[in-house]
Structure 1
Amino acid sequence: MSRAVTTYHQRIAREKRALILAAATALFLEMGYDRTSLARIAERSGVSRATLFKQFPTKAALFDAMVTESWATADGEDPPPAGDVVDGLTTLGRRYAELLSRPQMTDLFRIVIAELPRFPELADAQFSQGKMPYFESVRSYLLAEHEAGTVQVEDADLAATQFLGMISNYVFWPTLLVPGWEVSTERVEQVVDEAVRTIAARYADGGR
């Protein structure tokens, strides 16, 4: 098989996957996780049942894919190298704000919150496959900066929680509670910059 044909098939597969994930998200929000069948998702997305079942044999597998793709960074890069904590945290903070600003992220949290009483495994998937890996990347970065001597971080879990919380509490959580909540690009940058300054000042030389 030629490279061109292989590339074509891969592109078609990606397009169908995107259609399936979009249809699943819309149906989960519209009808609920329990009442949405894979057959209905196949019908809404316009792909055959065989195609859908080949990629996602269960709804759980489909939801896991939704979580993974929602939390995937745009560039797929690892945390920045240690050495400049302001520059590194700015990169991580803006990446995090971009993730939280995606429409599918709000949709994902709404699905989890709505279905939590009956399907706690959805929250487990959201935490273990989405939030936790990203949190761990920030935690690891802070530990690397600690080892490099640029900051003194005794509790990396707490420091990572503080940093991400300052961003999400302004950029993301109000979107779930306040109709029409929007944050401008300039405001997002300001929120991230202030979070970076706060963490850098707190942990520079042990926060003295």
Structure 2
Amino acid sequence: MLGVVTTYHQRIAREKRALILAAATELFLELGYDRTSLARIAERSGVSRATLFKQFPTKAALFDAMVTESWSAAAEEAPPPPGDITGGLTTIGRRYAELLSRAQMTDLFRIVIAELPRFPELANAQFSQGKLPYFESVRDYLLSEQDAGTIRVDDADLAATQFLGMISNYVFWPALLVPGWEVSAERAAQVVDEAVRTTAARYSTTS
């Protein structure tokens, strides 16, 4: 019975956390980071102030959680095993395109860009806790492929940047900046496939 009760409370806590993060995102976009108070977020989310303050004592802690939530799915996925550079990059590329297509990722970047002049710490959090760890995971995958003998890269940082950039420059950045820009699942898959071919052709030891 104790386990059932504990599971119930954990589920309720997760649901309230999701409500808080959704409300915070809406208000940061509507009013700006500076004009949004934790009290207003509690009211919008429908949870008590005590509940919100218990989970997020500051707005900075709340924003950090937004970053973590946005990138969490990617962080939880294991990298492909080395030995097949085309298959591995395809897996990574499709995961990345799917990650960038999520509304919460677009919202997060819009908040950071809007608040950058006054709150550069938001950009620092987004980069150090979200984008950088993801980038490093792709770089490390390329290094593992090099160790396996499937590719040869002199600059793994540059190679990872090139690969991810080919995807994000079509799938993500126009959607962030151009109203109504949409990329179909079929087109996103094509973009990923071309990025894989380009990268493999450049770095593969068998091409």
Shorter-chain TM-score tier: over 0.9
1:26 aligns with 2:41: no
Q: Which residue of 2 aligns with 1:164?
A: 164
| Structure 1: runs of 5 or more not aligned | none
Distance 1:43 1:35 in 2: 15
User: Identical aligned pairs, as a percentage?
Assistant: 84
Q: Which residue of 2 aligns with 1:2?
A: 2
Q: Which residue of 2 aligns with 1:14?
A: 14
- Once the two structures are superposed, the pairs formed by residues 4-153 of structure 1 within 5 Å of their partners are 4-73=4-73, 76-153=76-153
Deviation above 4 Å: which 4+ runs of structure 1? none
Deviation at 1:178, TM superposition (A): 1.1
Deviation at 1:78, TM superposition (A): 1.9
- Larger CA deviation: 107-116 vs 76-85: 76-85
| Alpha carbons 2:79, 2:137 under 8 Å: kept | yes
Deviation at 1:80, TM superposition (A): 1.1
| Alpha carbons 2:175, 2:182 under 8 Å: kept | yes
Deviation at 1:81, TM superposition (A): 1.1
> Which amino acid is 2:120 matched to?
P
1:198 aligns with 2:198: yes
Distance 2:129 2:74 in 1: 17
Distance 2:169 2:79 in 1: 22
Distance 2:94 2:47 in 1: 36
Q: What's the TM-score once normalised by structure 2's chain length?
A: 0.97
SS in 2 for 1:127: helix
Residues 12 and 74 (structure 1 numbering): CA distance in 2 closer, same or farther, change over 3 Å?
farther
Pairs aligned (count)? 207
| Alpha carbons 1:78, 1:137 under 8 Å: kept | no
Deviation at 1:77, TM superposition (A): 1.6
Distance 1:32 1:75 in 2: 28
